[in-house]
Amino acid sequence: MNQDKRTTKRAALKSAKDTTATGKASKGFTDEEKAAMKERAKELKAEAEKADGVSALLAKIAEMPEPDRTMARRLHTIIKASAPALSPKTWYGMPAYANQDGKVVCFFQSAHKFNARYATFGFSDAAKLDEGAMWSTSFALKELTAAEEARISALVKKAVNGINRAR
């Protein structure tokens, strides 16, 4: 009889895990989120094997469709020139740049990756962009002109150095 109680209890627990508080089945993660998690798992494995971050980043850029590929290559050049201390790597399948502690400072998210109408250049909380009580942490990119390149360069320098040069 104890065996029957345990089996019934397990079935009830399993059933409870498969539903939300409203009783509806959980939809779980989207296909894009699942793909990003798989990419992250690959990245963690590559880091454990001490894979070359630059090679991984350049390979990820090479996989991108145009115009994201050209934009990512240009951003790579700008970031390396603006903050040579940052280390290229991939982060959730996106090109990213980390500080000496291995924390991601900035990243590029292609428009194609999440079916967006624009690419995103963003900063993590490791970036020293603080400006009062509120500041931007990501920017939509449709194209890179000289003006955007100069602004990105200044923001990357500020993110690394904490100096207000972005204005």
12-57 pLDDT tens trace: 545 445 555 555 666 899 999 999 999 999 888 766 644 578 889 9
Rounded to 5 degrees, φ, ψ at 58 are: -65, -35
* Residue 90 DSSP symbol: E
Mean pLDDT value of segment 116-145: 96
> Using alpha carbons only, how large is the chain's radius of gyration in Å?
21
Annotated domain spans of the chain: 32-161
SS3 66: coil
Q: What is the pTM of this model?
A: 0.70
Rounded to 5 degrees, φ, ψ at 96 are: -145, 165
- Report the residue count for the chain: 167
- CATH fold group of domain 32-161: Aspartate Aminotransferase, domain 1 (3.90.1150)
Q: Which of 24-38, 39-53, 106-120, 142-156 has the lowest average pLDDT?
A: 39-53
Whether the bond between 67 and the residue before it is cis, its omega within 30 degrees of 0, is yes
